[in-house]
Every structure is written in structure tokens, then in C-alpha cells.
Amino acid sequence: MDKYFDALECPACGGVVTEEEKICPYCGRSLVLRNDINLMDRKDKNTYITEAAEALHGKKPFLCNRNTIERCIECLDKAYDIQPDAFIDLFRAYVEYDYFERKSLKRKPGYKFYYERASSGGITTEETIKLEKLLKNQIQIGG
């Protein structure tokens, strides 16, 4: 049976791409068609962000187990794939710092990468406060 899809969009620039393309012809980003996503059931960016926060159950990442952290990161990655956003980068920087950096676990690219991307993306104080409210914790990134 043939499958019919709506037009697919590059998560970086929004350009229309086909299932066969491995690189966006507009911005050059590598594309991966994820077979585990049913396009009819696809969640929006904010739903994935909320799921990432809920995975932590109001705890700081440092106090969570590795499976919980990986679930949180998976949700953030899915949100970022839908629409790149400085808020997601800030959230990811916080998780990377509080869990991996504080436990001295080597991880690439590391929290600094995501924090710099959030900063260059124009993260605001209001968005930082919004993240703290979502997580029900004050966030600290870096020493």
C-alpha cells in the first residue's frame, strides 16, 4: 500500500524537503527521517518541552537517575528538531551542567555549547524565569 505524506519541512530552516533527501537543499542541514514518528501523531515543540520537565519530577537533574536524564534529553532533542529555540538550549545546558558536569562525567558537546547557543539565540531573563517555574527549581549553569 502506498503511503502519502504531507510536505516535510527542514527543522532548521522550514524549507520543503522530500523523504529521500539527506541534506536540506536550502540550509545544508543533515536530515534524518525518524521512522518512530508517526506524522499524524506528532506532538508540538511545547509538548516535548513539558514532557522533558515532567520527566524530572520536580527534582534537580543531579538527583535523577541516568534513564530519567536520557528521557529528558530525548524530549528536548525532539522539541529542537521541530523548531530550534534558545529556550530549549537553555534547558539542555542546565540538564547537561547539573547532571553531567556536576558528576564529572565527560560529555560532548557539553553544557557550554548549549549555553552559548542559548545566549547567541537571545535568551532573556523572562525565559530563564519561565524555565525555573516549569522545573519548579532555581537553575544554575556553570560554577
On the question of a cis peptide bond just before residue 25, with omega within 30 degrees of 0, the verdict is no
Decide: helix, strand or coil at residue 17. strand
* Phi then psi dihedrals of residue 23, to 5 deg: -135, 135
pLDDT tens string 95-141:
999 999 999 998 999 999 999 999 999 999 999 999 999 999 999 99
Q: Which amino acid is located at 59 in the chain?
A: K
Q: 29-60: per-residue pLDDT in tens? A: 777 655 444 443 457 899 999 999 999 999 99
Computed over its alpha carbons, how large is the radius of gyration of the chain? Answer: 16
